[in-house]
Amino acid sequence: MLKTSTTDAIPDKKVNATHRHSFRLNAKDKYYAAVFLGPSLLVLGLFVFYPMLKTLYISLFLTNTLGNTTVYVGLGNYVNLISSPDFISSLFVTLFYVFAVTFFTVALGLLLANLASQKLPGIAIFRTLYSVTMGVSVAVAAIFWLFIFNPSTGFFALMSSWFNLPVMNWLTNPTSAMWAVIITTVWMNLGFTFLILLGAIQSVPNTLYEAADVEGASSNFQFFHITIPMISPTLFFVSTITIIGSFKSFGLIDMITKGGPTNATNMLVYRIYKDAFYSGNYSKSSAEAIILTVIIAFFTLLQFKFLEKKVNY
């Protein structure tokens, strides 16, 4: 079953490989290539490659008050970062956040999608409700959750006082602040993940379930042996998107915790922003940006190397 399956990537690679050997450009082709590639190369070069190289360049220097490079330090900025406990903890915090967010987003999204895929009267209401966070902007979500977390007048504080429980100060305790950010991010992500997974579950052919019913398989068995394998490409897509998205998470952190308390939620992207645009330390933040690029590239490669092979029908 696995051996005979073909993914889109495989024939593509073959075509490329054969082309590369017999690739000769005549003058006319070269002209067309220049015309068609020129504009996009220009835009990419100006807005992607030039800033990337410039970041790499700045990361090898110290920058002064005006943001100009002054003293060449080679890999000094990188050495400083790697030997700084602050930065290392930031790295671990980021990884923890990314994996927690991805795990809960995909797990809850799958649960809700599975529930909402039942054919029951009125199910459309739930489908709408579950995907409603897609329409909520980051700023609105952050303020909404800030109201909930407020230790004096917030919803959680009110609930605690009703039940005579001690009031928990979500955003000032390092551990709970991290969970507060995770909860908010998962809540934000859920709508989109739910919708994509629901679409995938609904496109699983009904005949498979009918056959399983005839065999007398339980609904649990059907979920793990039919639904999950059938939607695995979508699961792969959703988790990749969520991992990359959470690495880049900025808005919620900026509005909810500002990286605090005690740097407990100071993720890499937020740290880069703060070092550059609060402290004006462009060299340090450039070095951090390069490190982040390497990490994301590593995870992307890892996913394509390993996870894609596991995707099966």
Q: Which residues bind other proteins (CB under 8 A)?
A: 62-67, 70-71, 80, 86, 146, 150-153, 169, 171-174, 255-258, 260-263, 274-281, 283
Cβ closest to other proteins, residue 231 vs residue 256: 256
Our CB check for other proteins shows the closer of 219 and 279 to be: 279
Of 151 and 233, the one with the shorter C-beta distance to other proteins is 151
Instruction: Name the minimum Å distance from CB 105 to other proteins.
Output: 25
Nearer to other proteins, 160 or 300 (CB): 160
How far is residue 174's CA from residue 265's CA, in Å, rounded to a whole number?
8
CB of 100 to other proteins, least distance (A): 21
Quote the least distance from Cβ 54 to other proteins, whole Å. 14
Looking at beta carbons only, is 173 or 300 nearer to other proteins? 173
Smallest gap from Cβ 57 to other proteins, in A, equals: 15
Separation of alpha carbons 88 and 82, rounded Å? 7
Shortest Å, Cβ 275 to other proteins: 8
**Measured from the CB atom, is 5 or 161 closer to other proteins?**
161
**What is the rounded distance in angstroms from the CA atom of residue 228 to the CA atom of residue 220?**
11
CB of 6 to other proteins, least distance (A): 42
What is the nearest approach in angstroms of other proteins to the Cβ of residue 224? 42
Based on CB atoms, which residue is closest to other proteins, 114 or 176?
A: 176
